């Protein structure tokens, strides 16, 4: 499973990119607003930090304007993925963009029927929002399971990009079900490497090493 970091924080993205574990980046208007910086500047800079796809979201609601915005975003860097909402106008835009060779991430997916339409429109990625479904008392993982089955039934090439991930259990469940990508906050990515027994074991090893009085360097 690929990992995208869900962030518009250049420092955080750079730190994670240096680990070699990050395959791309997703952003959205809320993350850009939190950064307090110019949208186009942020996207352009992120694209210099990571080689993989960087999702940049259009803000228009009609297809004609979405396409105009997409043209601007595509001009920023070759690895920009255009992010469009899962509406009829968004799907129309997705179809036009993918036909033109663009990478498209259809976002704000909350049921399997929406996911089916996105695949039919040729979406490169589809972003189901797990955490927001959980907030409503709906098991977000059931949606990932349904999407995986439907996409496999018809050999759709659209990649399931699990979004709105809140914790490490979400990540594990997505991997078990077979999501193609998980876009994860930087804090959650770092938590994946942690376990109290790892910390305890390392502490014991270091204590024993200190007793030897040796040094590798």
Catalytic residue among 34, 44, 68, 83: 83
Asked if 55 and 25 touch (Cβ cutoff 8 Å), the reply is: yes
Query: How far is residue 191 from each of residues 41, 59, 169, 201, measured CA to CA in Å?
Result: 29, 32, 11, 17
Active site residue 83: yes
Asked if 83 and 26 touch (Cβ cutoff 8 Å), the reply is: yes
Provide CB contacts within 8 A for 188, sequence distance 6+: 165, 166, 167, 168, 170, 171
49: Cα within 13 Å, side-chain hemisphere: 24
First to last CA, the chain: 37
The C-alpha angle with vertex 165 and arms to 33 and 143, in degrees rounded to 5, equals 120
Active site residues: 83
């Amino acid at each position: 499973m690929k990992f995208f970091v869900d962030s518009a924080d250049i420092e955080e993205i750079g730190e994670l990119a240096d680990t070699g574990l990050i395959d791309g980046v997703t952003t959205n208007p809320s993350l850009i607003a939190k950064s307090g910086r110019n949208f186009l500047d942020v996207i352009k800079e992120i694209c210099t930090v990571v080689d993989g796809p960087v999702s940049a979201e259009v803000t228009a609601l009609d297809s004609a304007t979405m396409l105009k915005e997409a043209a601007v975003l595509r001009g920023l860097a070759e690895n920009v993925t255009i992010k469009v909402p899962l509406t009829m106008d968004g799907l129309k835009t997705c179809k036009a963009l993918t036909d033109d060779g663009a990478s498209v991430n259809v976002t704000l997916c909350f049921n399997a029927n929406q996911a089916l339409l996105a695949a039919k429109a040729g979406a490169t990625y589809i972003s189901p929002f797990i955490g927001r479904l959980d907030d409503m008392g709906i098991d977000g993982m059931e949606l990932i399971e349904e999407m995986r089955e439907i996409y496999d039934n018809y050999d759709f090439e659209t990649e399931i990009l699990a979004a709105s991930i809140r914790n490490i259990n979400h990540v594990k469940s997505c991997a078990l079900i077979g999501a193609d990508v998980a876009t994860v906050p930087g804090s959650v990515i770092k938590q994946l490497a942690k376990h109290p027994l790892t910390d305890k074991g390392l502490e014991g090893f270091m204590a024993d090493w200190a007793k030897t009085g040796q040094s590798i360097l």
